[in-house]
Structure 1
Amino acid sequence: MTRQKLIYFSIALLTMACGMVAPSPQIQSGTLDLRTFPLTTGTTIALHGDWKFYPGVLDVPSDATTASYLPVPGLWNQVPVLSGFADGKGYGTYVLDIKLPEENQIYAIYLPEVRTAFRINAGNRSLVSGEPGITKETTTPSAQGQSFTIGAKENLQIQIAVSNFHHKEGGLPSAPVFGLGESVQNYILAQSMLDLALTGAIFMFGLYHFILFFYRSKQREAFYFGFFCLVFAVRIPFIGSKTIYAVFPNIPWELVIYIEYASVFVLGILFLWFVDGLFPRFIDTKIIRYFSAYVQFMLVYGLIIKPEIYTQFEVVFQAIGIIFAIFLGIRLYQMVRKGLPDAGIFFLGYLVLFVGFVYDVFLAYSGEGDSTLSQLAVFLFFGVQSTIVTLRTVRSFRKKILLKDEFETINEQFILTNRFYAKFIPRDFLIHLGKESIEEVRLGDSSEREITVLFADIWEYWDIIYSIPLENRMLFTNSYLGRIGPCIRKNNGFIDKYIGSAIMALFDGGIQNSIIAAKDIQWELEKYNERRRSFGYLPLHAGIGIHSGDTMLGILGEEERFESTVIADAVNLSSRIQGLTKKYGARILVSLASLLVHEDLEAIPYRILDFVRVKGKQETVMIAEILIPDIDSISNKKIANRGQFEAAIFDYVRADFVSALKKFRSVIVDNPEDLAAKIYIERCEYYQTSGVGEDWDGISAWEK
């Protein structure tokens, strides 16, 4: 298997492992209701939330009532008032009551590492990791996770007795995983496969670079990077899901913790020597030697003292590590500025590694364990740094053709990836955020600016959808949308969202482009209808609403799922205006306030249509109908009767219903298909009979 395939395979496993745990319903006051939750095969849930907690108790009666509540995952040190353990030392029991469906099913529970021993009880099953006790002498620590299956229905109580006297932190750093028996076992298998895949892939990285060093002994960076990979490959089974227990079930807990901590120091010094091999003398060798001596001292120190002592300094180690990483990053950036060969790609890989390292420190500080993201960052770093060493070897043997092919392949993949992502987050959106590429986007990025928002939708969409076979519905929708998109883009707009058959498009730089785009959409729809008529299909009618205003463009979501979006009152109003198009029989409606700032207003055929108050808005909005000459006879007659129609509207607003009714009827005589005139005739006839009050303002309130 090539290194490229190893990377793809590992990333696929990472993605699969991320998607196997679904967000669970909210656990409140130690109770979780899963009676209506779709627990299907292949889906597991993490039991996050507030569990009941009984400090100083290892055996809790099933009917116990007095309890405090602790967040899971979480460490006792973080909530000393709730847990009662300011230093993380002590023992207690977590309790969760789960309401299940009435039918009996086989469920499974998986609990990863606990600080530092636990016993889990559920129904008639019980398993331990280590041996929880009430004193240090009666407690046997362990970092091994446990799982078991159990048949249950209606109600299930889970009790997790935890004790910690050997580590600076106590509690549940990871949430238990719950689901159908097969689903949980598949989740555990996926985690194990992920660790094995990463271990094997990184081990192969190391072996590959040792072979390079064997044929080119002067290439010291290959030796140190190979050593770095091997140490990291050894470290992986000792962290995360602790797969080392699958091979050595009786391995001492102290050794597991020591390797987890000591390997970090070894990796740090090997990384420094690797940098020195790539860029000789750019980092003072004396600094590296001093740090090497410090690492040797820490390794011996960790062997002599107990984990409960040296884990107390974890925050100090992390702070020193971050300071060191920042210092090294500054030096690497200086190398990039000086134009050293391969400095740019090395700095990129280092940034990836730095992000993963800082994220791991954050999770460790918050008590949430290791992350798949950090593992992926490290793996990508290996790929980047391995590429550097390979490129240098290729240069040494003057394989210029192979080097050229490799660069072209990587560049092609990069371009294809960016083109693919551009279909989800338009480049125009990135420009508004001040970003050059999708890689720069971060959660919370935003930009405030005035934007014109266009909503377009088919009036007959759902009637058509329900009248055609299921397999044709997506084809029909995409056939329509495929004609709309080009009309938006060629007029300097971009589509922000698809909502069924509806589109939400954004235009920067004035309202004129959006109006042209709206007209193009209507003309394109006319061409599409000609084709539909030739096949005997009903024609389509699309309504378009436009409004301009201040908007906030940004990135919403969470760390694992981003989405570009627009938050603004203008979005809601343009959607509401679009919803009125069918009521008035109008192709295009626009707020008059937005239309009046058009650069060439005199060139646009339009007519004032109504004074409305849409749902969710208190203020009045004056809307106008954009008219398209020669698109149909109805539009041409609307243009011809525009003056008469607007005069009638102003009579209507002044409550002169006799004059308004006369003029609206004159419009209808010439254009019987003018729905707006018909609406006003009905209103005038009603108000002539019922009368209006002193607060009459002529405003139409639409609640839908």
Structure 2
Amino acid sequence: MTRQTLIYLSIVFLATACSMVAPSPQVHLGELDLRTFPFESESAVVLQGDWKFFPGEFDVPSDATAPTYLPVPALWNQLPLRSGAADGKGYGTYVLDIKLPEETQIYSVYLPEVRTAFRLVAGNRSLVSGMPGHTKESTTPSAQGQSFTISAKDKLQIRIEVSNFHHKEGGLPNAPVFGLAEGVQNYILSQSTVDLALTGAIFMFGLYHFILFFYRNKQREAFYFGFFCLVFAIRIPFIGSKTIYAMFPNIPWDLVIYAEYASVFVLGILFLWFVDGLFPRFIDTKIILYSSAYVQFMLVYGLIIKPEIYTQFEVVFQVLGIVYAVFLGIRLYQMVAKGLPDAGIFFLGYLILFAGFVYDVFLAYSGGGDSTLSQIAVFLFFGVQSTIVTLRTARTFRKKLLLKEEFETINEQFILTNRFYAKFIPRDFLTHLGKESIEEVRLGDSSEREITVLFADIWEYWDIIYSIPLENRMLFTNSYLGRIGPCVRKNNGFIDKYIGSAIMALFDGGIQNSIKAAEDIQWELEKYNERRRTFGYLPLHAGIGIHSGDTMLGILGEEERLESTVISDTVNLSSRIQGLTKKYGARILVSLTSLMLHEDLDTIPYRILDFVRVKGKQETVMIAEVLIPDIDAISNKKIENREQFEAAIFDYERADFVSALEGFRAVFANNPEDLAAQIYIERCEYYQTAGVGEDWDGVSAWEK
């Protein structure tokens, strides 16, 4: 159902409600002749006119002579001399004698809300709303309308005992409705249906604007107008026929009056924010902020004091409201004069809303009862707002059509550029930073996490570089690196940096991924060497160092030059471990603490290699050599001699150099290419001669 349909249906409800009340004959001097009234049409009559009035009296005898007459609907405040209540406070009894048709019929009387309390008596039946009393203490206020049915013929006397000590206004602001029971009940039902229809329709309209704001959160006017609709929808059950009592029969009278007054202030300021969102900066923000502060004060003020006090300022509030509305109207007219988009149609809608507001203020001041004109005006204004939204959407759509082709071209260029830049800052690095694309990266972005760092470099790189022509050096380097990159990526890692022939790769999935990547690199290098041998080139040997630990990934540099990097002691140690590979003749070296984290450690052949202190570090680290079966004869011999080698390592750590030397010599004799065994042989021979101190810890210090 569209918003326009809701508006039309609501107007139909209003028209239906109005048609259920026939043109009413006027009450004259407390009497009304309904003998010829067409009750059979199920129409009801509004009992308005001059009623008998007995100020300061309850329990008036049926044949008592009235001292005065008061118009209904009207407030005592407008008739202070005849009502005897100059300030609207007091009590009294309204009396009306009705002449009816001769046949007995079931009639019904419905009296909408009175400001504080009433008792309705007709024939032998009565009902109360609240509890009317002679004093403030004996009066229980209520704003609930009441109705009852009665069997009558020929004539009927209706008495309404009214008291008011809690509100500025006393009297009957609404005229009773009288007719056959079915007609009056239909009238009451229609009034409630209209209120519910208005509430539901306005609520849905507000919900629509909230959804609009959710998808287009730059449209502040949608949020404020949605909030405006929500408050207005909540206000409707608290005014008019007070349908709030149907849902909450025991709701306090103070709360009903507070909601009626407070909602007006909230609606006013929300409307101001809505206009500011629709036409930014056209109303001074300070005015809006000061008005908001005033509204907040009035809301708190109304909670603290009683309605008896703050209703005294109703006229002041009404005057301020009119001044506020006139000021806003002037500003809107100035928008129209300046030719702002949609200002003209919005100003037209505002005039309709302003007319409904002024008419309601007039009725409230004159005591002429409630009117649905303000609701109709609001709905018409909603139609205007819908038109504005439609126009703006249409303009936006036209702009999109005009920009579509240009956008697609720019978007294609953007995608290509983004893919190109992704080669400089890997997608995985952005993921670790919590970024969707490179455009979101800012200087200082960082993320701390546990990462495995892999360094790989060619031992013979610089010897080869200096032996080939300058123009071939870049080709040679890229030829080698082009084989290394895929080995890293297929094992869930990414290359963070190229440092000459060296790479620094990062792995976030555990040590096993980095170990597998290192093995793949060595196998890929063997394939590359086979090709190099066919051209008579020297074979390449790569050393790989691996270590895991906490790292800080981030963006360094300055605003005009950014670079992704990793700052961590883990990076430094991994690089130092890689630097030891050539000294030990090892393909892959891993810190033992990191290797122990491998999920399938039993499947990896490795040997404990040394307990070292690398350059720039005071801490010591135990390193292990990961061995690759069948990659070459040297590696197979190392795997074969692993237990004997590690036994000699343990003897070495205990300073048992005789036993250690024997073990290392046996390993070296079986595998003369094992540089680690040769290093230990030289150490053992030296320490056998030089001796060691009591602080011997077996740590090898590498300063280069």
TM-score normalised by structure 1 residue count: 0.56
Structure 1 position 393, deviation (Å):
3.8
State the distance in 2 between where 1:400 and 1:186 align.
52
Equivalences for residues 208-227 of structure 1 within 5 A: 208-227=208-227
Structure 1 position 395, deviation (Å):
3.5
Q: Which amino acid aligns with 1:328?
A: L
State the distance in 2 between where 1:388 and 1:323 align.
26
Contact 2:136–2:166 under 8 Å retained in 1: yes
State the distance in 2 between where 1:328 and 1:221 align.
16
Which residue number corresponds to residue 500 of structure 1? none
Which residue number corresponds to residue 180 of structure 2? 180
State the distance in 1 between where 2:294 and 2:26 align.
47
Contact 2:167–2:311 under 8 Å retained in 1: yes
State the distance in 2 between where 1:137 and 1:397 align.
65
Contact 1:221–1:389 under 8 Å retained in 2: no
Per-residue CA distance 1:87-142 (angstroms, 9 max, x = gap): 00000000000010110001111100112100000011111100000000110111
State the distance in 1 between where 2:268 and 2:179 align.
39
Which residue number corresponds to residue 384 of structure 2? 384
Structure 1 position 157, deviation (Å):
0.5
State the distance in 2 between where 1:392 and 1:238 align.
35
Which residue number corresponds to residue 32 of structure 2? 32
Which residue number corresponds to residue 99 of structure 2? 99
Structure 1 position 38, deviation (Å):
1.9
Which residue number corresponds to residue 622 of structure 2? none
Q: Which amino acid aligns with 2:65?
A: T
Equivalences for residues 277-288 of structure 1 within 5 A: 277-288=277-288
Which residue number corresponds to residue 148 of structure 1? 148
State the distance in 2 between where 1:394 and 1:57 align.
66
Q: Which amino acid aligns with 1:200?
A: G
Structure 1 position 397, deviation (Å):
4.6
Percent identity of equivalent pairs: 83
Contact 1:394–1:400 under 8 Å retained in 2: no
Worse-matched range after superposition: 92-101 or 41-50: 41-50
State the distance in 2 between where 1:170 and 1:312 align.
12
State the distance in 1 between where 2:327 and 2:170 align.
33
Equivalences for residues 230-629 of structure 1 within 5 A: 230-398=230-398
Equivalences for residues 49-198 of structure 1 within 5 A: 49-198=49-198
SS of the residue corresponding to residue 186 of structure 1 reads helix
State the distance in 1 between where 2:394 and 2:219 align.
12
State the distance in 2 between where 1:73 and 1:21 align.
16
State the distance in 2 between where 1:67 and 1:106 align.
32
State the distance in 2 between where 1:369 and 1:293 align.
32
Structure 1 position 254, deviation (Å):
0.4
Q: Which amino acid aligns with 2:301?
A: Y
Contact 2:100–2:155 under 8 Å retained in 1: yes
State the distance in 2 between where 1:382 and 1:367 align.
28
Which residue number corresponds to residue 42 of structure 2? 42
SS of the residue corresponding to residue 32 of structure 2 reads strand
Structure 1 position 400, deviation (Å):
8.5
State the distance in 2 between where 1:337 and 1:165 align.
50
Contact 2:121–2:127 under 8 Å retained in 1: yes
Contact 1:205–1:386 under 8 Å retained in 2: no
Per-residue CA distance 1:479-537 (angstroms, 9 max, x = gap): xxxxxxxxxxxxxxxxxxxxxxxxxxxxxxxxxxxxxxxxxxxxxxxxxxxxxxxxxxx
Structure 1 position 62, deviation (Å):
1.4
State the distance in 1 between where 2:249 and 2:398 align.
50
State the distance in 1 between where 2:331 and 2:66 align.
57
Structure 1 position 36, deviation (Å):
1.7
SS of the residue corresponding to residue 36 of structure 1 reads coil
State the distance in 1 between where 2:380 and 2:212 align.
20
Per-residue CA distance 1:408-431 (angstroms, 9 max, x = gap): xxxxxxxxxxxxxxxxxxxxxxxx
SS of the residue corresponding to residue 132 of structure 2 reads coil
- Between Structure 1 and Structure 2, how many residues are aligned? 401
State the distance in 2 between where 1:390 and 1:236 align.
27
Structure 1 position 77, deviation (Å):
0.5
Q: Which amino acid aligns with 1:389?
A: V
State the distance in 1 between where 2:140 and 2:70 align.
24
Q: Which runs of 5+ in 1 are unaligned?
A: 402-704
Per-residue CA distance 1:418-448 (angstroms, 9 max, x = gap): xxxxxxxxxxxxxxxxxxxxxxxxxxxxxxx
State the distance in 2 between where 1:272 and 1:347 align.
14
Q: Which amino acid aligns with 1:338?
A: K
Contact 2:245–2:251 under 8 Å retained in 1: yes
State the distance in 2 between where 1:148 and 1:224 align.
43
Q: Which amino acid aligns with 1:133?
A: G
Q: Which amino acid aligns with 2:253?
A: W
Structure 1 position 398, deviation (Å):
4.4
Per-residue CA distance 1:310-329 (angstroms, 9 max, x = gap): 00100000001101111110
Runs of 4+ in 1 over 3 A off after TM superposition: 393-401
Q: Which amino acid aligns with 2:316?
A: V
Per-residue CA distance 1:255-308 (angstroms, 9 max, x = gap): 000000000000011001000001000000000000000000000000000001
Contact 1:113–1:143 under 8 Å retained in 2: yes
Q: Which amino acid aligns with 2:293?
A: A
State the distance in 2 between where 1:193 and 1:119 align.
26
Structure 1 position 27, deviation (Å):
1.2
Structure 1 position 394, deviation (Å):
4.4
Per-residue CA distance 1:376-410 (angstroms, 9 max, x = gap): 11111122123323432443454999xxxxxxxxx
Structure 1 position 48, deviation (Å):
0.7
SS of the residue corresponding to residue 95 of structure 2 reads strand
Q: CA RMSD in A?
A: 1.3
State the distance in 1 between where 2:193 and 2:385 align.
24
Residues 154 and 220 from structure 1, CA distance in 2 versus in 1: closer, same or farther, beyond 3 angstroms? same
TM-score normalised by structure 2 residue count: 0.56
State the distance in 1 between where 2:318 and 2:56 align.
31
SS of the residue corresponding to residue 287 of structure 2 reads helix
Contact 2:55–2:84 under 8 Å retained in 1: yes
State the distance in 1 between where 2:181 and 2:264 align.
36
State the distance in 2 between where 1:197 and 1:139 align.
34
Contact 1:18–1:372 under 8 Å retained in 2: no
State the distance in 1 between where 2:337 and 2:177 align.
48
Contact 1:222–1:389 under 8 Å retained in 2: no
State the distance in 1 between where 2:36 and 2:59 align.
31
SS of the residue corresponding to residue 39 of structure 2 reads coil
Structure 1 position 17, deviation (Å):
1.3
SS of the residue corresponding to residue 208 of structure 2 reads helix
Please identify the structure whose Cα radius of gyration is greater: 2
State the distance in 2 between where 1:399 and 1:2 align.
25
Per-residue CA distance 1:619-643 (angstroms, 9 max, x = gap): xxxxxxxxxxxxxxxxxxxxxxxxx
Structure 1 position 76, deviation (Å):
0.4
Q: Which amino acid aligns with 1:364?
A: A
